[in-house]
Structure 1
């Protein structure tokens, strides 16, 4: 297991879509309540047994989420508690390389989620505590391209469909998951998914109609967007849940990382307890089967193979 000490609490971690040995971590000081943020770019070395820093970028407020560009291996975006969205370019050298190449300030509240479009590779979406979702095109040299405002509470999660370039899902504290198409101003489907706030959602990468939602009600629910009157299944056995879907398994986290197989009767496959504080960031490698990464408020990011 590779471990890196971040010194700030971890909020999100993502493997690079271009380099199997590169990973990014978004962190916040004082649990994201007050203080600075820092984005670490790390290199995986010695077969995953070590992590070392390539570079890092500071922000004046905590960073809650990040996304790698799908079009440029050196570009990465972080979203912040002050409502800002910052784009950094790792290829820039010298003192200027420490500063964002672009910064947006349109959201009226903390920006909690960002996802880069994996299909058209030009746009990304952000979800904010101001109850809005915004669509961005960095090449347009302007502000947001489109705003979606239908949720009635904080938007905690926004994620593109891996099959449709204009479709994405969002999860909110208003207890709903919404399915959107960027070609329309209103959501195409609203799922009354849980009885409590929904912290995250994600698509099944191998079935375009299946997604999962995770809530503070301590459940993960599996949905078929073609028929949303009732969930396909419910996974129980954890605390507050964030979720990441990969093939036939998804991961949730409180102070543990749990691996599930949704096709098994006893869905919980394994529980990992290598962190000592809340785990709020998790990702799967795109290149190495079974390789995972997690970050937590214990100020560490860790990678291992399941």
Structure 2
């Protein structure tokens, strides 16, 4: 699994532990990193903007340069690039706020929102409905936003516990999934009458919990991360405190005891991490590959395609010296993966 590989490109950000990373959908070499002082427990945050040197196939990654950064008053937990504007990106903060940044504008955000009442732990920009992004918070809600509106356009009371992540489907513009500390994975169909606002642009704050199109009891513990498969519309992966990555076929459903739809067939369970799995992401280039980042200080790559004698664990990246909490595949260079962690390092490497 760990044969000879080119060494990773590494850049450190002294004083700021990383929480999340995102590759630009417009520029092949740009990466944004959300970070926090004092491991996110107290203190400021910083958004780092990185640029890779060219990545010609078959040669080592040459290096990473930082081309910008923005300071925030509270820690940053997540970041997502705009799908509309090549220079804009949104961050999620520990004080419950969201900020929209433009890399051509110094120092200050170009827009900000503060509706969540607790930490915002996840932000996701739809790559299908490109004018919309979603935020997920420890206040139990998921909110939808348009970058030019002063307030959210929709609030989902998604869980009765902390929501760790919410992601739009890459196949259906009105389908969104969330995961929570309650151990469930939930899918919402925003075409349902439950989510129709009384007037355009008016936020509906009364959406009931029971409006989830599907609830998957995915884990006995906290569910920290999820991702949609980029090739199979009904396939999701989830992972969390129980250290197991599970692959779900959400077409397998049944009615719950109170009339809600529950289910989801667990196709595969990937075991190997020694501590909680903090982040997973399906590969955009190969349907069966998925990457994971864990508190066991490793980033791993798995092959979920069943075959006799095939080892599901493909690769282990273990140079990190603290919790690895973020990972992401390059959108343009097949086989290139980035990882970040509490050791203040961003690593970029080929598998």
TM-score between both structures, scaled by the size of structure 1: 0.96
1:16 paired with 2:24, answer yes
Contact 2:166–2:178 (Cα < 8 Å) also in 1? yes
Aligned-residue CA RMSD (Å): 1.1
TM-score between both structures, scaled by the size of structure 2: 0.84
**Whole-angstrom CA distance in 2 between matches of 1:46 and 1:125:** 32
Count the aligned residue pairs.
301
Structure 1 unmatched runs, 5+: none
Partner residue, 2:67: 54
Bigger drift between 250-259 and 205-214 goes to 250-259
1:133-175 Cα shifts (integer Å, max 9, x gaps): 0000112x22000000031110001111110111111010011
Structural mapping, 1:259-278, within 5 Å: 259-264=301-306, 265-278=310-323
Question: Once the 2 structures are TM-superposed, how far is the Cα of residue 181 of structure 1 from its aligned partner?
Answer: 1.7
Partner residue, 2:341: 296
Larger radius of gyration: 2
Equivalent position to 1:69, from 79, 82, 90: 82
Partner residue, 1:109: 118
1:243 paired with 2:267, answer no
1:104-124 Cα shifts (integer Å, max 9, x gaps): 000000000010010120000
Instruction: Indicate the SS of the match to 1:138.
Output: coil
**Whole-angstrom CA distance in 2 between matches of 1:36 and 1:183:** 39
Partner residue, 2:245: 220
**Whole-angstrom CA distance in 2 between matches of 1:271 and 1:291:** 14
Q: Which runs of 4+ in 1 moved over 3 A?
A: none
Question: Once the 2 structures are TM-superposed, how far is the Cα of residue 230 of structure 1 from its aligned partner?
Answer: 3.3
Structural mapping, 1:119-158, within 5 Å: 119-139=128-148, 141-158=149-166
1:287 paired with 2:332, answer yes
Structure 2 unmatched runs, 5+: 1-7, 56-60, 196-210, 253-262
Question: Once the 2 structures are TM-superposed, how far is the Cα of residue 252 of structure 1 from its aligned partner?
Answer: 1.7
1:3 paired with 2:40, answer no
Partner residue, 2:47: 39
Question: Once the 2 structures are TM-superposed, how far is the Cα of residue 54 of structure 1 from its aligned partner?
Answer: 0.9
Does the C-alpha gap of structure 1 residues 91 and 217 become closer, same or farther in structure 2, counting only changes over 3 Å? same
